[in-house]
């Protein structure tokens, strides 16, 4: 038979007791080892360092009544045992570090001790098989059996009787995914995997999230949907507060974010709460966080870590319990290297980082987004808007082809559908409107010959270009254009190696692109100077 290993929290209240009277009370951790028919080979006790004395006492009591049970203390550092994200992270780390051997041992996870949050996290650990075991529920004895060790119940989530529980979790998960995608049936595997993890993090963690990607990729839209999901799950009650940090300049930047007191500076005639306080118990989305000044970055870091800060001109701290989400099109690691972004702030917001692919990298998602936007336009204009069959086919052929650059990403697509819907005669979009719209898009994305020449001059000298074969010259020009449309080396690599990366066990796109550029003596910084637009 397999050895039985019980895993659980030290009960800071239920397991406590110093006098001899403690033996008359039901203490779940100790009483587990009192069952005559139950032989526990090992008891793994998770505890906080503040309860070292209680741990020693419990250890000694178990040794007195069940010397064959080995007690293994496992210290966890949980500042707030009622914080879901913190508890889940601690148990996840435990599950990854513990040397499970299910072929030799049977694992029971004790639910009775610890907070309700811990019980839920234990359930998730077992349900997702991060811990290969079953759940153990203990209960005190009835009045007629006072002095006995109580009773215990085993819950094996792999058994069919618990399928309905798993199905409910799956249904809730699917509902959340639909909410995050606004009901759009996206087909891009990279985006779908991203959304799947975002859903898990959004409902389990209050830690900052960082959304990266080119302008118009949908960072603000996704942030709002994450807020809607968290509010639907009753995790936040406050407002969704959004600001584009590129609009914050000078003295007004700190005032906008942190507020100010009356008379703090010239023109401060009234007190201002600031966006951080407006986001109390809600979600604060700082888009283009890379545009914040270094002073504001330092103030923001403290506000994230301590939930307290000083309004401009005040010597009295204020508090705000907000959750932060940030967005950027910049490579913040490069900004740190250039001294434009604080490394400690990046480390704080870089826990959950997601790179949103550009629309050009998600061409299979253009059609479902097209249908979504048509529905939105129909609601806004008050009548149904649709393509005729030939016009729809023509538009999609162009929109999903390499001729469509979608440099503004979803902003370009939204603008395009808005124009088509506005000009649709009787709500029907025909061939002529589509042809005109294609011409408009092609013109907007056209790169004049002079601009192409400037792009070459910004990277290699005319002599260096002349030394390249036509094949290499055309290929390098195309690579440079993709790089200039992307926010980071990794983003450009994913775009350029979108097919071949799926055939590799390790897809280091950034390294492949870096080595390719190095063949021509180029670096990422060399090719980021864009030619002027016309």
Write the pLDDT tens digit of every residue in 350-404: 999 999 988 988 899 899 999 989 988 998 888 889 999 999 999 999 999 988 9
User: Are residues 493 and 513 in contact, defined by beta-carbon separation less than 8 angstroms?
Assistant: yes
User: Are residues 64 and 23 in contact, defined by beta-carbon separation less than 8 angstroms?
Assistant: no
Report the alpha-carbon distance of residue 342 to residue 340 in Å, rounded.
7
H or E element in which residue 166 lies: helix 163-180
Which structural domains are found in the chain, ordered by start? 3-158 (3.40.50.10770), 170-355 (3.40.50.300), 359-445 (1.10.8.60), 449-518 (no CATH)
Q: Which two tokens stand for residue 4?
A: 């039985």
3-state secondary structure of 186: coil
Pick left, alpha or beta for residue 74 (phi over 0 → left; psi -120 to 50 → alpha; otherwise beta). beta
Q: Which two tokens stand for residue 133?
A: 């075991």
Distances (CA, A) of 11 to 50, 72, 110, 318, 467: 13, 15, 11, 35, 75
For the chain, the residue count is 534
- Which own/partner pairs from 218-222 qualify as long-range (CB within 8 Å, at least 24 positions apart)? 218/356, 218/409, 218/410, 219/287, 219/327, 219/356, 220/285, 220/287, 220/327, 221/410, 222/180, 222/198, 222/356
Distances (CA, A) of 14 to 10, 28, 57: 9, 7, 13
Full 3-state SS string of 203-255: HHCCCCEEEECCCCCCHHHHHHHHHHHHHHCCCCCCCEEEEEHHHCCCHHHHH
User: Are residues 115 and 140 in contact, defined by beta-carbon separation less than 8 angstroms?
Assistant: no
Report the alpha-carbon distance of residue 331 to residue 525 in Å, rounded.
11
Closest CA to 472 of 409, 517, 411: 517
Residue with tokens 């370009």: 412
Q: What is the pLDDT of residues 35-85, one digit of tens each?
A: 988 999 999 999 998 899 999 999 999 999 999 999 999 999 898 899 888
Give residue 174's pLDDT: 63
Closest CA to 186 of 194, 503, 417, 394: 194
| DSSP β-bridge partners for residue 118 | none
Report the alpha-carbon distance of residue 502 to residue 491 in Å, rounded.
15
Write the DSSP string, 376-434.
Answer: HHHHHHTS--EE-HHHHHHHHHHHTSTT---TTTHHHHHHHHHHHHHH-BTTEE-HHHH
Q: What is the pLDDT along the chain (534 residues), one digit of tens a residue?
A: 789 999 999 999 998 888 888 888 899 999 999 998 899 999 999 999 889 999 999 999 999 999 999 999 999 989 889 988 889 999 999 998 899 988 899 999 999 999 999 999 999 888 888 888 999 999 998 877 777 888 999 988 766 555 555 555 555 556 666 666 666 677 788 888 888 888 888 888 889 999 998 888 889 989 998 998 888 877 888 999 999 998 887 778 888 999 888 866 666 678 888 899 999 999 999 999 999 999 899 999 999 999 999 888 888 889 999 999 999 998 899 899 989 999 999 999 999 999 998 898 889 989 999 998 998 899 888 888 999 999 999 999 999 998 899 988 899 999 999 999 999 988 899 999 999 999 999 999 885 544 444 444 456 776 677 777 888 888 888 888 888 777 778 878 888 887 776 676 666 888 888 888 888 888 887 776 554 433
User: Rounded to 5, what percent of the chain is helix, strand, coil?
Assistant: 50, 15, 35
Phi first, then psi, for residue 381 (nearest 5°) are -85, -15
Instruction: Tally DSSP H helices, then E strands, for the chain.
Output: 21, 15
| DSSP β-bridge partners for residue 42 | 5, 70
Report the alpha-carbon distance of residue 179 to residue 170 in Å, rounded.
14
Report the alpha-carbon distance of residue 301 to residue 349 in Å, rounded.
9
Q: What is the DSSP letter of 272?
A: B
Report the alpha-carbon distance of residue 69 to residue 40 in Å, rounded.
6
Closest CA to 216 of 412, 381, 81, 404: 412
Closest CA to 60 of 30, 31, 24: 30
Q: pTM of the full predicted structure?
A: 0.55
| DSSP β-bridge partners for residue 44 | 7, 72
């Amino acid at each position: 038979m397999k050895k039985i290993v019980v895993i659980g929290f030290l009960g800071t209240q239920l397991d406590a007791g110093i006098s001899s009277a403690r033996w008359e009370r039901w203490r779940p951790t100790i009483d587990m080892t009192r069952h005559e028919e139950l032989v526990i080979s090992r008891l793994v006790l998770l505890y906080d360092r503040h309860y070292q004395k209680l741990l020693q006492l419990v250890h000694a009591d178990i040794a007195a009544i069940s010397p064959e049970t080995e007690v293994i203390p496992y210290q966890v550092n949980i500042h707030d045992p009622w914080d879901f994200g913190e508890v889940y992270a601690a148990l996840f780390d435990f599950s990854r570090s513990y040397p499970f051997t299910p072929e030799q041992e049977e694992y029971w996870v004790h639910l009775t001790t610890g907070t309700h949050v811990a019980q839920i996290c234990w359930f998730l650990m077992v349900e997702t098989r991060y811990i290969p075991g079953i759940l153990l529920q203990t209960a005190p004895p009835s009045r007629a059996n006072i002095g006995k060790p109580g009773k215990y119940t085993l819950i094996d989530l792999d058994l069919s009787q618990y399928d309905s529980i798993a199905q409910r979790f799956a249904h809730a998960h699917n509902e959340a995914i639909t909410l995050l995608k606004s009901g759009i049936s996206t087909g891009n595997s990279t985006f779908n995997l991203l959304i799947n993890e975002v859903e898990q993090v959004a409902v389990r963690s209050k830690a900052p999230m960082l959304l990266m990607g080119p302008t118009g990729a949908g960072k603000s839209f996704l942030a709002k949907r994450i807020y809607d999901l968290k509010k639907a799950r009753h995790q936040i009650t406050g407002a969704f507060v959004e600001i584009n940090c590129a609009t914050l300049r000078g003295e007004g930047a700190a005032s906008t974010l942190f507020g100010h007191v009356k008379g703090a500076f010239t023109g401060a005639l009234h007190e201002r709460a600031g966006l951080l306080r407006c986001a109390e118990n809600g979600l604060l989305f700082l888009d283009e966080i890379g545009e914040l000044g270094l002073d504001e970055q330092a103030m923001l870091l403290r506000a994230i870590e301590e939930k307290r800060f000083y309004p401009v001109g005040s010597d009295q701290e204020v508090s705000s319990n907000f959750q932060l989400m940030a967005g950027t099109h910049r490579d913040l690691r490069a900004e740190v290297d250039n001294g434009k972004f604080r490394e400690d702030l990046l480390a704080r917001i870089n826990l959950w980082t997601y790179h949103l692919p550009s629309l050009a990298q998600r061409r299979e998602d253009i059609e479902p987004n097209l249908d979504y936007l048509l529905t939105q336009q129909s609601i806004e204009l008050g009548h149904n808007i649709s393509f005729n069959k030939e016009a729809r086919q023509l538009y999609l052929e162009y929109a999903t082809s390499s001729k469509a650059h979608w440099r503004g990403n979803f902003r370009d697509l939204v603008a395009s559908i808005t124009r088509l819907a506005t000009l649709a005669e009787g709500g029907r979009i025909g061939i002529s409107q589509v042809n005109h719209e294609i011409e408009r898009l092609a013109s907007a994305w056209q790169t004049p010959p002079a601009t192409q020449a400037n792009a070459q001059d910004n990277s290699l000298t005319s002599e260096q270009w002349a030394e390249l074969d036509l094949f290499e010259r055309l290929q390098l020009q195309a690579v440079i254009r993709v790089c200039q449309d992307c926010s980071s080396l990794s983003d450009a690599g994913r775009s350029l190696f979108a097919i071949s990366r799926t055939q590799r066990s390790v897809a280091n796109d950034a390294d492949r692109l870096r080595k390719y550029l190095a063949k021509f003596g180029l670096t990422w910084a060399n090719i980021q100077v864009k030619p002027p637009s016309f």
